[in-house]
Amino acid sequence: MRRLRNVKIVATLGPASNDYAMIKALHEAGADVFRLNMSHGSHDEIRERHRIIREIERELDSPIAILADLQGPKLRVGTFANGEEELEEGASFRLDLDEAEGTIERVRLPHPEIFAALEPGANLLVNDGKIRLKVEKCGADFADCTVVTGGTISNRKGVNVPDVVLPLAALSEKDRADLEFVCDLGIDWLALSFVQRPEDVIEARDLAKGRAAILSKIEKPSAVACFDEILKVSDGVMVARGDLGVELPVQAVPPIQKRLIRKCRSAAKPVIVATQMLESMIESPMPTRAEVSDVAAAIYEGTDAVMLSAESAAGQYPVEAVTTMNNVAEAVESDPTYREVIEASRIATSGRESVAEGIVSAAREIAETTDIKVICCFTQSGTTALLTARERPRVPIIAMTSLRGTARRLALSWGTNCIMTGELQRFKQAVVNSARAARVHGFAGTQDQIVVIAGVPFNQPGTTNILRVAPCDESLIFASDPE
């Protein structure tokens, strides 16, 4: 299913998007990737959503990526005798391991790992940062705090600890069980929450055993601090602005977003911008102007994908939310300023260090300086397509592969139109198949030319070494290369 934009759209499934008709409508409206949130829904519900997506994929012959998002460890306070309390600014408040119900003076925090890492002066954020506590004194089983920002604290509200790296694994026991379930089910991307260090990603990769690509969610200051190391061991990144905006000053998030997008592009790894992109559309059929500008800003920055969370999972207007995001993307990418920004940022990408990088760079330059309609790249691992996408060419990219899993994973990558092809033995077959695909899918006509890039010998990852400008007319291909 050809899109008239390059940026991809990720839609989260949930109660509002739980059946065949709605999920198909979301895909037809523009969703390229479906996110399964493992924080909500039973394994039976997740299995059914997965089945529906694959059925739609077969019906429409359109590769669809499935991203399973692990919950990660959840840090929460205990319960209160009165259900809630009102904390006043300047008051003292204790967090401890006592199992007694909370009062206006204290509450249980059932996470000894937090106490082990705390130091005086550290900040604790409760209920998405609405309440801020400053640690004055702490020990192995308590933290005496001063209320810096007061408010209502109630049962099981979440706790963020922005100032320290917690001695907690990114994978809880629930996450490990969920990981095995979704990998056996057959997902394409595995999103890892609570990433603090590269070792967290390596652990998830070892457990996944190649069954899914690993996407690191950047939602903690510690992850931002060692982002380069995390990126090296990740297949992709999600800029999870919700928790990131809680643990860091909100004004710090936009420049971090821009910086992370550029680093991901330089590494030729997909990046998603997520959280509250069209939040008002949970209840309204129209977004705010600020939300539209937020989505547009991420697209101008060169992100691979933008994501809908509650808007498509639990909102009243899921199809309208996807349609809005699609329309914004088309409008931005048709703006001449968009090309100026994208091409100006190309100098931030890494140097040409390999033959493959040189080939894809040459393909982009040829396509943009001559009358070329499309770049067709043959790929097994997906690397050639990712490198081509990093160039952000002005012409469309067709990623051709014989591996369904590769086509699905590339559905998350900027500008890639994934088309299945049989295994090839000769480069001429690749050229003929490219010309045919470009015509059938409306990228070029018989009078047009295309660029074809591939690796010889075929079916071996990492061998991209050949480029050809070819006509879309198959008879001309055979006439120019009769053997």
Q: Which residues are catalytic?
A: 35, 76, 217, 275
Cβ pair 65, 34 in contact under 8 A: yes
Alpha helices in 133-248 (DSSP H): 173-185, 198-208, 221-225, 227-232, 241-247
C-alpha span between 282 and 401 (Å, rounded): 37
- The side-by-side arrangement of strands in the sheet containing 464-471 is 416-420, 397-401, 372-378, 449-455, 464-471
C-alpha span between 237 and 69 (Å, rounded): 12
Phi, psi dihedral angles at 289 (to 5 degrees): -65, -35
DSSP character for 218? E
Half-sphere exposure of 64 (CA within 13 A, CB side): 29
Give the DSSP H/E element, type plus range, for residue 397: strand 397-401
β-pairing, 213-218 with 236-240?
parallel
DSSP code string of 313-337: HT-S-HHHHHHHHHHHHHHHHTSHH
Alpha helices in 307-426 (DSSP H): 310-313, 318-333, 336-344, 355-369, 383-390, 404-410
With vertex at residue 445, the alpha carbon angle to CA 440 and CA 447, rounded to the nearest 5 degrees, is 145
The two most distant CA atoms of the chain are separated, in Å, by: 86
The answer to whether the Cα torsion of 87, 88, 93, 95 is positive or negative is positive
Distance of CA 83 to the CA centre of its chain: 37
- Angle, helices 20-29 vs 43-60, to 10°: value is 50
Separate counts of helices (H) and strands (E) for the chain: 18, 21
Half-sphere exposure of 454 (CA within 13 A, CB side): 25
Cβ pair 8, 304 in contact under 8 A: yes
Half-sphere exposure of 71 (CA within 13 A, CB side): 15
